[in-house]
Amino acid sequence: MKRWLVICLTAIALLAGCSSTQENNSKKQEEQTVNTQFLGEWTGTIEVPQSPLVINISLEEAKGTFSVPIQGLKNFPIETLRYNGDTVDITVNVQGQKMVIKGTLADGKIEGTFTQSGATFPVTFIPNDGSDAEEVTYKEVSIPVKDGELKVALQPAANGEPSPVAIIIAGSGPTDKNGNSTLGLSNNSLKMLAEQLAENNIATIRYDKRGLGDNTALVKNPTDVTIDTFANDVASIIAYVKAQPSFTSVHVIGHSEGALLGTLAAQDEAVDTLTLIAGTGRAIDEVLIEQLSAQVSPALLEESKEIISKIKNGEIVEEISNDLQMMFAVPNQPYLASWIKYNPTEELKQLNNPTLIIQGTTDLQTNEKDAETLGTAATELVYIEGMNHVLKEAPQDRAANFATYSDPSLPLHEELLPLIEKFIKNK
Which helix (H) or strand (E) element contains residue 260? helix 257-268
Which helix (H) or strand (E) element contains residue 93? strand 87-94
Cβ neighbour number for residue 376 with a 10 Å cutoff: 12
Strand, helix or coil for residue 218: helix
Q: Reply yes or no on whether the pLDDT at 78 is more than 80.
A: yes
pLDDT at 119: 79
Hey, which bits of 95-196 come out as E strands? 97-106, 109-116, 119-127, 139-145, 148-155, 163-169
Strand, helix or coil for residue 16: helix
Average pLDDT, the chain: 86
Q: Reply yes or no on whether the pLDDT at 15 is more than 80.
A: no
> pLDDT band at residue 120, thresholds of 50, 70 and 90?
confident
Characterize the bridge pairing of strands 148-155 and 119-127: unpaired
139-283+342-425 matches 33-127 in CATH topology: no
Query: Residue 339, class by beta-carbon neighbours within 10 Å (0-12 exposed, 13-18 middle, 19+ buried)?
Result: buried
Mean pLDDT confidence for 315-328? 86
Characterize the bridge pairing of strands 53-59 and 40-46: antiparallel
CATH class of 33-127: mainly beta
Domain boundaries, the chain: 33-127, 139-283+342-425
Q: Reply yes or no on whether the pLDDT at 6 is more than 90.
A: no
Closest alpha carbon to 189 in 143, 258, 126, 127: 258
Q: pTM for the full model?
A: 0.74
> How distant, in Å, are the alpha carbons of 70, 138, 141, 249 from that of 133?
12, 15, 20, 34
Residue type for position 209: K
CB neighbours of 327 closer than 8 A, spacing ≥ 6?
Answer: 9, 12, 304
Strand order in the sheet with 148-155: 139-145, 148-155, 203-207, 163-169, 247-255, 273-277, 355-360, 380-384
Q: Reply yes or no on whether the pLDDT at 14 is more than 60.
A: no
User: What are the tens digits of pLDDT across the range 352-409?
Assistant: 999 999 999 999 989 899 999 999 999 999 999 999 999 999 999 988 998 898 888 9
Q: For the domain bounded by 139-283+342-425, which CATH number is listed?
A: 3.40.50.1820
Alpha carbons 327 and 223: distance in angstroms, whole number: 15
Alpha carbons 1 and 118: distance in angstroms, whole number: 13
Alpha carbons 39 and 108: distance in angstroms, whole number: 12
Identify the top-confidence range among 93-102, 134-143, 226-235: 226-235
Whether the Cβ atoms of residue 53 and residue 184 lie closer than 8 Å to each other: yes
Characterize the bridge pairing of strands 139-145 and 148-155: antiparallel
> How distant, in Å, are the alpha carbons of 82, 84, 101 from that of 31?
9, 11, 20
Residue type for position 132: D
Q: Reply yes or no on whether the pLDDT at 183 is more than 80.
A: no
